[in-house]
Amino acid sequence: MNIVVVGTIAFDDVVTDHGTVNDTPGGSALYFSAAASMFVPVNVVGVLGDDFPVDILEFLRGRGVNTNCLDIVEGGKTFRWGGEYETDMNIRKTTNLELNVFNDFNPVLDEECRKSKYVFLGNITPELQLEVLRQVESPEFVVADTIEVYIQNDREALLKVLDKVNMLMINDEEARLLTGEHNVITASKALMRFGLDYVIVKKGEHGSILVSKDDLFIFPAYPIDEVIDPTGAGDTYGGAAMGYIARANSIDIETIKSAAVYGGIVASYTVQDFSIDRMKTLTIDDIDKRLEIFRNITSF
């Protein structure tokens, strides 16, 4: 079952204790597609300049990603983000943000993208999320992500998005901001009042919380000794989780639980290198090996 994802394609300039990288491929749609395509075909919707590396697009196509709905602007400059992480990598500051071609992004879906049954709305403006959703013909399961700026500055439109989606994936700080609840468990449960079927609240190295109308599922992150670059971990989490759900072609609570675990496992690989470099060599066997270790260390 195909997925359609809309999000950013970007150049990232990243600084961590483990080094500095410039002009490295990034963006929510890129990270998501690299992960989700390990499970099912993916249709990616986005915009980029013709300065973006062709080999990265070829990598996606080789993984079964349909790039026909990527708008490549001739002479345009790709979206750029710069960030610097402290030794505690839960803390980062944005050092640069250039919208470039994304400033005039108008998503247009072709027939294949419109027929996708599974939809992931990456952390772009709520208006663009709604525009993509309007073009999908008969979605069976819609998942949305968002970020702090839209919660603070575009709340009304964001609430319209939440009214039309089945599941929300956000981090703990965003959950607190959206609900006004400080306790992360209380905030996770409070998100259900927006009419969602499921909520996943990501807490980085401290794991995730999955909430439904009748269930609360809490699980740890896979333990990593050394984190190189946490950029894109949340997006590969979403990609792997959505890919698992689409492959299972089921949206019951047990499937969502398993999907969340798979998301955490794939994200644990992402943080062990810069950009999508680890995603390029990752295999299903790698994921299954780490999943077995995860099962052993979380059973009692």
Q: Exposed, middle or buried: residue 114 (CB in 10 Å: 0-12, 13-18, 19+)?
A: middle
Res. 70 pLDDT band, cuts 50 70 90: very high
Res. 259 pLDDT band, cuts 50 70 90: very high
- For the CA atoms of the chain, what is the radius of gyration? 18
CATH numeric code, 3-297 = 3.40.1190.20
Look at residue 300 in the predicted model and tell me its pLDDT. 83
Structural tokens at position 278: 């680890």
Res. 89 pLDDT band, cuts 50 70 90: confident
Mean pLDDT, residues 292-296: 95
- Cα–Cα dist 94/96, whole Å: 6
In which residue are the tokens 């996943």 written? 200
Residues above pLDDT 90, as percent of the chain = 93
Mean pLDDT, residues 155-177: 95
CB hemisphere CA count around 177 (13 angstroms) = 16
Looking at every residue in the chain, the average pLDDT score rounds to: 95
Structural tokens at position 219: 């699980």
**pLDDT 10s digits, 192-228:** 999 999 999 999 888 999 999 989 999 999 999 999 9
Taking every pair of Cα atoms in the chain, the longest distance, rounded to a whole number of angstroms, is: 58
In which residue are the tokens 């790709």 written? 78
pLDDT value at 1 more than 80: no
Structural tokens at position 192: 């259900």
- Phi, psi at 74, each rounded to 5°: -65, 125
Domain boundaries, the chain: 3-297
User: DSSP per residue over 176-212, as a string?
Assistant: HHHH--SSHHHHHHHGGGGS-SEEEEE-GGG-EEEEE
Res. 91 pLDDT band, cuts 50 70 90: confident
Q: Is 143 left (phi over 0), alpha (psi -120 to 50) or beta?
A: beta
* pTM (2 d.p.): 0.95
Res. 254 pLDDT band, cuts 50 70 90: very high
**Neighbouring C-beta atoms of residue 8, cutoff 10 Å:** 23
Res. 181 pLDDT band, cuts 50 70 90: very high
